[in-house]
A and B are shown apart, each in its own frame.
Chain A
């Protein structure tokens, strides 16, 4: 069986970069990843991005990214799966490598959300939902997540304070992450008193709007991977052990169960099976907490917590340092930030660095098996990737 290795990673800090364009951000991330991969020349580029058509008024984004990264001429295309665009791009890039069409591929993600006003970004992000039967009525993406959050709180008897421990911990982790958009601690009081966005979700329950780009280089050439590791002074090789992707309805109303991300259930089980691992084997996880509620649902639907119990376990201190799995030491979407189409790649970069031991923030306890979970919409897309230390 061909193994696929991650041989280079790169990312930019996440923030509101009025002084940097989308092409500059993605080029910075790609060049960093190529440098980390001993400056090899990739055979193709796959790019995750959601909103460039609307907010950057730019299509042909992947060719632009290739050109401005010194890669003019190679095959390149953009993959869009709403907030799951990064994970979906990785899925496509992995397929290219696996198929043999390109033995070495750079997969990047970029999002430039601050090009226009926040209202414009909000509108662009709402396009993840059903344009004709949801967005038409004036519901925002936060509003849709709020519908799920209220239902969850009512069904399992949680208060806003019970759920606030998620952002609390994410901010603490992010305070160690030099790439994070919100690298500062906060308090329960600040979370609870933050302004309401869409009841019951308040500002500090939600991920911020920011720009960023991340990239990874993957190859199935084991000899090359070993040489790169040697030449760049790394003693750990990370392989992609499994990957799964699934979809669900775009509209929330027709879900079979409103409180289960069924696409995450399917994608994670496919990925575990492909990697030959069980839930209990997983040491580290980066999950998609665009809102605290999606973080809790991710833990439940990936099999780390029984339905309805994630907030309780989280509040008791589970999933912290020393536990299994350790979760979101990057600070998560909540505090590391959520540059939409880049987020899935950030997660893979962070999980890779945690396995290699060179993540420059809050360090996991020497994980061997890590998982990333990236969703688009409220579980309209899920992409779950298993990374494993190879030697």
Chain B
């Protein structure tokens, strides 16, 4: 067993629901969540979740020389996205898309995806990835 089970149990709220901490003093959203605002130092923060927000793509990379444990997921697209309303920046896998379809500003939505697995018998990790917003077939956009 290579992975720490306690660690991923502890991080569920952040990895599954994008738990973040909004500073009541400067208004910035801290993601990953923290007990002190990493921008202004205030200790007055409230818990928020970024799961219901769309995000825009700031930058991305297509990784061919992948890290250990991701050999069967090559190439891997990783993006840095910014949530539309709360302006939190999140690093996450970009999924359900061909690399050439991506561009700066692409609008994305969060989806739950398998990240990797700890061998045959170990834990399977899921977390939030982002995919381009799917336009419903046969319906015109307003």
Contact surface of A with B, Cβ cutoff 8 Å: 119-120, 122-123, 126, 130, 132-140, 142-144, 146-148, 150-151, 154, 195-201, 249, 251-254, 256, 258
User: Nearest Cβ distance between residue A43 and chain B, in whole angstroms?
Assistant: 39
Interface string of B67-90 (1 = CB under 8 A from A): 111110100101110000000111
Residue contact A254 to B89, C-beta cutoff 8 Å = yes
> In whole angstroms, how far apart are the Cα atoms of A252 and B73 in the complex?
23
Residue contact B62 to A138, C-beta cutoff 8 Å = no
Between A and B, 11 residue pairs with Cβ closer than 8 Å are A119-B67, A122-B67, A133-B31, A138-B73, A138-B76, A138-B115, A140-B66, A151-B58, A198-B62, A199-B64, A254-B39
User: Nearest Cβ distance between residue A246 and chain B, in whole angstroms?
Assistant: 15
> In whole angstroms, how far apart are the Cα atoms of A248 and B85 in the complex?
25
A122 to chain B: which residues have CB within 8 Å? 65, 67-68
User: Nearest Cβ distance between residue B21 and chain A, in whole angstroms?
Assistant: 11
Residue contact A253 to B31, C-beta cutoff 8 Å = yes
- Interface status of B49 (Cβ within 8 A of chain A): no
User: Nearest Cβ distance between residue B108 and chain A, in whole angstroms?
Assistant: 15
> In whole angstroms, how far apart are the Cα atoms of A163 and B97 in the complex?
28
User: Nearest Cβ distance between residue A55 and chain B, in whole angstroms?
Assistant: 13
Interface string of B36-77 (1 = CB under 8 A from A): 001100000000000000000011111111111111010010
- 10 shortest interchain CB distances as A-B pairs: A253-B89, A146-B61, A199-B62, A151-B59, A138-B70, A198-B63, A197-B65, A139-B78, A143-B63, A133-B32
Residue contact B67 to A123, C-beta cutoff 8 Å = yes
A201 to chain B: which residues have CB within 8 Å? 61
One of B66, B80, B116 near A252 (C-beta < 8 A):
B80
Residue contact A138 to B32, C-beta cutoff 8 Å = no
Q: Select from chain A the residue with minimum beta-carbon distance to B92.
A: A137
User: Nearest Cβ distance between residue B128 and chain A, in whole angstroms?
Assistant: 9
Residue contact A138 to B116, C-beta cutoff 8 Å = yes
Q: With A148-B59, A151-B58 in contact, do A138 and B69 touch (Cβ < 8 Å)? A: yes
Residue contact A135 to B30, C-beta cutoff 8 Å = no
Residue contact A249 to B38, C-beta cutoff 8 Å = yes
One of A154, A196, A253 near B80 (C-beta < 8 A):
A253
> In whole angstroms, how far apart are the Cα atoms of A123 and B83 in the complex?
29
- Interface status of B104 (Cβ within 8 A of chain A): yes
